[in-house]
Structure 1
Amino acid sequence: MPSAAERTRTLVQSTCSAVLLITGLEGARPDQLMPAGRSVGPDGEVYLDFPADSPAVRAATHAQDDELAAVLEITDVAPVSVPNRIRGRAWISGWLTRAPGLAEPGRMMLRLEVGEASVDDLWGASAVEAEDFAHAAADPLVAHEAELLQHLHAAHGDQVQELCGLLGEREHGSHRSAERAVPLALDRFGLRVRFDGELCFDARFDFPEPVRDITGLRRAMHTLFQAASH
């Protein structure tokens, strides 16, 4: 199971939508507070790319030497259509300053020094210490997860459906009631599938060992599909 810090770091480095919440900017439009890009620095600080004239940059400029508290809220939405499509959220709170010289002309990079973080996702809800966040690594599949799930759903839907054969009888009913199987989430440890029908439930299919790249993922998925077909 990925740690809470790893899951939070993965969401920060994913393509999920994010909004920067700053006290005093409640009147700004949500799209004005959405960074165009984000990355994590070597010490765990989060860098956010904004237009130089954005409300967030103005607030950081006016704050100057004062500590400007801010919260980066990330919302993770499944890249395939499923019931209850929001997979999770993460919150990164800390202090915001400008980082001149790191962005293209007309833009400004803001630096969010992480004070604390939390995540509430398919694994559960957990608090994350700033030090743990700094030392964690994002899941190696994060850059490809959306594309991989869409491919699995479009090109391997029948094989994903067959995975229900690995479940046996469930405590709350038979897996045979599942009319639709949709790949919901993918990480180095395994695949999560949402089965929808008379009952709606998620099932987790762990890989024999954690994968490190796409090549390892192909082997793991082949093994999984092969087991389900027998």
Structure 2
Amino acid sequence: MPSAAERTRTLVQSTCSAVLIIPGADEAGPDELMPEARTVGTDGAVFLLFPAGAPPVRAATHAQDDELPVVLELTDVAPVAVPHRIRGRAWVSGWLTCAPGVAEPGYMMLRLEVGEVYLDDLWGDATVGPEDFAEAVPDPLTAYETELLQHLAAVHDDHVQGLSGLLGQRTDVRRVVPLALDRFGLRVRCRDAAGCSFDARFDFPEPVGDIHGLRRAMHALFEAAGPAD
């Protein structure tokens, strides 16, 4: 399974929504606190791109040499329609400073030095330290996950429904929806005859490193489930 540090790096470097929580910036609108881009530096710091006049830039500029404590809150929502669509949240706490000269005119790059990360996702909750966060790498499929899950739901729904045959004694499954995908396997959300939801995960025989490996792993998984209806 992916480590908590890897899952956090994947969230930070994915396209999931993010908002910067800054003390004293209560009057700022949510849109003003959402970075337009984000990335992670080689030292593990998180770089956030904002318009030059955005409240986070003003706060970081005003703080100057003082430490400005902030929290970057990330929310991961399933890209397909499922009950309870929020797949996870992460809170990256640390100190914010300006990184002048990095962004194009009209923008400012802000540097978030990571102090601690708290993660609560489909795997459970965990705390991640800055060293582990810096050393982790995002899942190689994260850039394709949204498109792949939507493709599975729209084009290969018959094969996805066939995965219920791999659930052993759970014969009351009425609906299966792809929920999450990573290099280790596929997670689905199922609905039973009573309308209750539960998750099932299908691990690949070995982690996949690219789309070609994923294609082979998914083909083997669907074959194991038997022919589609």
Q: TM-score, normalised by structure 2?
A: 0.97
Residue equivalent to 2:100: 100
Identity of matched residues, %: 71
What's the CA shift for 1:146? 0.5
When normalised by structure 1's length, the TM-score is 0.96
Pair 1:184 & 2:179 matched: yes
| CA displacement at 1:13 relative to structure 2 | 0.3
Bigger mean CA offset, 48-57 vs 96-105:
96-105
Could you tell me which runs of 5 or more consecutive residues in structure 1 were left unpaired when the two chains were aligned. 170-174
1:201 and 2:163 are equivalent in the alignment: no
Residue correspondences, number: 225
- Give the drift of 1:180: 1.2
Instruction: Return the match for 1:221 from 212, 218, 221.
Output: 218
Which residue matches 1:63? 63
Contact 1:10 1:139 in 2 (8 A): yes
> Contact 1:40–1:46 at 8 Å: present in 2 too?
yes
Instruction: Provide the rounded CA distance (Å) in 1 between the counterparts of 2:2 and 2:79.
Output: 20
Correspondence for 1:156: 156
* Number of the residue aligned with 1:81: 81
Residue by residue over 1:115-165, the C-alpha shift from the partner in whole angstroms, topping out at 9 and shown as x without a partner, is 000110000000000000000000000111011000000011110110110
User: 1:21-60 alignment to 2 at 5 Å?
Assistant: 21-60=21-60
Give yes or no for the alignment of 1:136 onto 2:131: no
Deviation at 1:26, TM superposition (A): 1.4
Supply the distance in 2 between the matched residues of 1:76 and 1:104 (Cα, whole angstroms): 28
Amino acid at match of 1:205: F
